[in-house]
Amino acid sequence: MSDFTHFDEAGNARMVDVGGKAETERSATARGAVYCSPDTIAMIRSGGVKKGDVLSVARLAGIMGAKRTPDLIPLCHPLALTSVKVDLAVDPERNAVDIEATCRLTGRTGVEMEALTAVSVAALTVYDMVKAVDRSMTIGDVRLVHKVGGKSGEFRGE
């Protein structure tokens, strides 16, 4: 049908069989941002959000999101992640909360979707925690910035 791996010859969706692939160390890093009003950024920085510490809660949510990726994204393999790191930083010059997630494992398939899911869930958590004071927020720039391991080798993007 095509070069897409998640479709069989008849065009039906399928989970890719990775049973014959060698286990290798794999890592993926994704980034994204939540853009807020200057007042919201100040509130996040000062710890003045009624729901609690926005960055800490979003970090935990991102980690949980990475671990639940196969429950959220059809055809993703359940993976035994060995590490999930989620970092959030406030950039007042851009009125942004920047998010970066790195996932690692030794396995037969990559962890790009887990890293992207971690960033997305962390961003949604930031939004949820401050939406009462800023409904004009936007989530954007979610992308894979680095991937290593497996047959396709290394990818670097920005």
> Which residue out of 87, 98, 128, 141 is catalytically annotated?
128
Helices (H), the chain: 38-46, 54-67, 69-72, 112-130
Read off the tokens for 54. 């926005």
CB of 8 closer than 8 Å to CB of 123:
no
Which letter, b or e, does each residue of 26-51 get, where b requires 16 or more Cβ atoms within 10 Å of its Cβ?
bbbbbbbbbbbeeebbebbeeeebee
128 catalytic? Reply is yes
DSSP state of 100: E
Read off the tokens for 125. 């958590």
Catalytic residues: 128
